[in-house]
Amino acid sequence: MAIRKIARICDYGVFRDFTWPQDLPEFGRYNLIYGWNGTGKTTLSRLFRHLEKRQPPTKGKLSVTVGDREYSEEQFEMFPIPVRVFNRDFIDQTVFTKNGEVAPIYVIGERNVEKQKQADTLRNQRGDKNRELENARANQREAERKLDQFCIDRARVIKNTLRTSGSNPYNDYDKRRYKERAEKMVADGDAAAHLLNEGERDDLLAQHRDTPKPKVQQVAYTLPSLQQLADVVSDLLQETVVSATIQALKDDPDLAGWTRKGLGLHKDRNSKKCLFCEQPLPASRLEALEAHFSAEYEQFLGKLDEQIRQLQAASDQADRVELPDSAKLYADLVTEYDEAKSAVRKALERVHEFLAALIRALNDKKAKPFDRVALDVAVPPLEVDVIDRLNGVIRKHNQACDEFEARVARARERLALDMIAMDLDEFEQLRDAVRQAEADVKTVEQEVERLTTEIERLEREIAEHRQPAEDLNRNLCKYLGHGELQLAVRDTGYSISRNGQPATTLSEGEMTAISLLYFLKSLEDREFNLQNGVIVLDDPVSSLDQNSLFGAFGYIRAGTQTAAQVIILTHNFLFFQLVREWFRNLRGPDRRAWRVFMLECAFDGVARSAKLQPIDPLLMDFDSEYHYLFARLYRMATEPPATSLEAYYWAPSIARRLLETFLAFRVPDEGGRNRLWRQMQAIEFDEGKKSRIYRYMQTHSHRSAVGNPDEDLTLLGESRAVLSDVIEFMKAADADHVSRMIARITGSSENGTS
């Protein structure tokens, strides 16, 4: 089983929307992909790295075909083929790690087969437990998230309810304070004690919202004793006057009153005549009237009048009682105050009505001083403490004025506790769910730790990685030509030393050599089945000189010859040639099982976009990159012009690389800064054209993206003309060489191979 093709790469690195073309051959057993830097080789190697790790990428849409099945990025964890990838990520994560040690390679021996089976069984069990642990941790994270969100939501409700302008501890109330207080309430078990009824809640909300108010004067009034007043009036009504009465006056109160008043006028004026009829008054009549209206009579009436005045004064006092407006009190006291105020008003009305009734009874008695009269007015029921109750509410208000800040603080605290208590059951359920999830995680962690300990014990008995280290050291010595660098065995892997001392500085070539040899040796690791596996190498000869490159090629060829599938990516043309010839010389069933591809990256008007395509026949025909570059540049300069920017995207870089190689032989004595310009100046050629060629290469080569629109238009407009200038420039330096190169190209074209 092998990888047939990469069906799709979308929005992944420089691959914007690549779909495997129908006319592009599928991967074979041996595959070579050529591409310059920036064309997507690293991106492809990272795709294969995801397959090796069986992990989906963090972004992009990917699809790889194996057999008749297509695996999308979500299904990478089920990828059926073992893959090993050599790239920069492998080096950083495995070889030159942050802890300075190289991961070990384990090779199993016959004596440890049974132990290895046990270890593999335990490893499978640990794998199951790790998946169970991941699920348990996911459940824990979800339970913690729910509890956290619950605390955030409830804290926000409390904060929004109790926040005010100015200083207030609830203005920045948060989930931490909510959780701490809820935990304490659960521990104390006193949630019910903190719950408020609707009325209490409304009162406390009113206190929370109140502003400071002035104190209110208490009501200075005492209700009279109605029963005592009734007794006094009743006694007066029972009294009678003893005198020589005139029956007619006794029987006619109105006449008696008129006569009494008239008698008083006659006395005051000392009149002997009747002031009404002007007839002489008989002396006997005056004596009889004076006997009727005696001093006792007058005293009794005065007594009645005095009592009436007292009763009227008491009534007026009750009428003058002023009760404070309820708006002057704090809102939470208004209801209680209004109830007390209503009771006081009702009591005052009863006092007023009862006193008026007593006054009427006394006025009636004045007309009947000689008769006993019964009091027929019932004493009304009266709540004698209503004034005290009213003043009690006022005292509460005044005390609240003295303790305003503390009162508001208490109100907010009680409201907050009420809101916590209302949702405490849900909080406790969510908290218990978190605790249970934590306990589940701990249980599985302990089991994973137990399995790991047992596996490590078996590994220590069977994992002898000294032999791989010795093999690597021998290969390093052959590869580098000296034995200065050595891999020393450590419990957790290998460390690198130079002449017995820790190797703190390594050249790029040394690092590449160690990394490549280590990777090839790791293919013998018991955890990897080379005969069924896919080997991917991304630029394995980077930073190597020519001698080392040949050595690396030999190790690569020997180390991967039994692999089920090999995929090599490179930008080095010499290495490309070596691998190409290796594939061409395959024999037996593999002589047709090789493919050569090319990566190209072009600008599509928005961004760079890479694609995998058949290899350019020029690369298969020529024996050097220089020939290939000359052929491409010559064709772009002489063939009909292209209509899109994409066709000329690589032209500046091709021109630069071609001239750098050409001038390195023609002008070898120029170097230092601005080397290319100095070399160009050494060739006699039109100065204006030389400047245009140099500007063209400096402006547009080695670009990761095309610049502004003006530069794009310049690139389209200038490319063919500038490339023609490049050919002419090379002719000026070596006309015979250029002529032979053109003949080689046109001869290839005529044979139909280009």
**What mean pLDDT do residues 664-672 have?**
79
pLDDT at 339: 94
pLDDT at 354: 93
**What mean pLDDT do residues 494-511 have?**
80
CA 363 to each of CA 233, 351, 357: distance values in angstroms, whole numbers, following the listed order: 11, 18, 10
pLDDT at 250: 55
Query: 589 is written with which tokens?
Result: 């069933």
For the chain, the average pLDDT equals 83
pLDDT (tens digit per residue) in 376-414: 989 999 888 999 999 999 999 998 888 888 888 888 999
pLDDT (tens digit per residue) in 224-281: 999 999 999 988 888 876 554 555 555 566 665 676 666 567 666 776 777 677 678 6
**Angle formed by the axes of helices 424-462 and 113-162, nearest 10°:** 160
List the domains of the chain with CATH numbers. 1-82+529-615 (3.40.50.300), 87-107+467-527 (no CATH), 119-219+397-463 (no CATH), 224-240+295-383 (no CATH), 244-293 (no CATH), 627-750 (no CATH)
Confidence of residue 79 (pLDDT cuts 50, 70, 90): very high
Q: What are phi and psi of 371, to 5 degrees?
A: -115, 150
**What mean pLDDT do residues 464-490 have?**
76
pLDDT at 313: 93
Confidence of residue 218 (pLDDT cuts 50, 70, 90): very high
Between residues 111 and 46, the one the model is more confident about: 46
pLDDT at 709: 42
Contact 186, 424 (CB under 8 A): yes
Between CA 350 and CA 357, with CA 355 as vertex, the angle to 5 degrees is 95
Query: 104 is written with which tokens?
Result: 């070990």
- Cα 187 from chain centre: 30
pLDDT at 498: 85
Contact 724, 637 (CB under 8 A): yes
pLDDT at 752: 32
Q: Which of 283-287, 485-489, 491-495 has the lowest mean pLDDT?
A: 283-287
pLDDT at 548: 78
Q: Which helix H or strand E contains 655, and what residues bound it?
A: helix 651-666
Distance CA(243)–CA(250), nearest Å, equals 11
Q: What is the pairing mode between strands 565-570 and 30-34? A: parallel
**What mean pLDDT do residues 600-622 have?**
78
pLDDT at 492: 53
Checking if the pLDDT of 111 tops 50, the result is no
Checking if the pLDDT of 428 tops 50, the result is yes
**What mean pLDDT do residues 132-154 have?**
95
> Burial code of 595-608, b = ≥16 C-beta within 10 A, e = fewer?
bbbbbbbbbeeeeb
Confidence of residue 750 (pLDDT cuts 50, 70, 90): very low
Checking if the pLDDT of 365 tops 80, the result is yes
Q: What are phi and psi of 664, to 5 degrees?
A: -60, -30
pLDDT at 349: 93
Q: Burial level of 212, CB count in 10 A (0-12/13-18/19+)?
A: exposed
Residue keyed to tokens 């100046």: 681
pLDDT at 651: 82
Q: Which of 186-190, 617-621, 705-709 has the lowest mean pLDDT?
A: 705-709
DSSP, res 569: E
Checking if the pLDDT of 666 tops 90, the result is no
Distance CA(215)–CA(300), nearest Å, equals 50
pLDDT at 430: 95
**What mean pLDDT do residues 678-704 have?**
82
Q: For 84, left (φ over 0), alpha (ψ -120 to 50), or beta?
A: beta
Strand pairing partners for 64?
A: 6, 71
Confidence of residue 292 (pLDDT cuts 50, 70, 90): low
Checking if the pLDDT of 705 tops 50, the result is no
Q: What are phi and psi of 563, to 5 degrees?
A: -70, 150
Any idea of the CA torsion for 46, 47, 52, 57, to the nearest 10 degrees? Answer: 90
> For the whole model, what pTM was predicted?
0.49
pLDDT at 713: 47
Between residues 622 and 492, the one the model is more confident about: 622
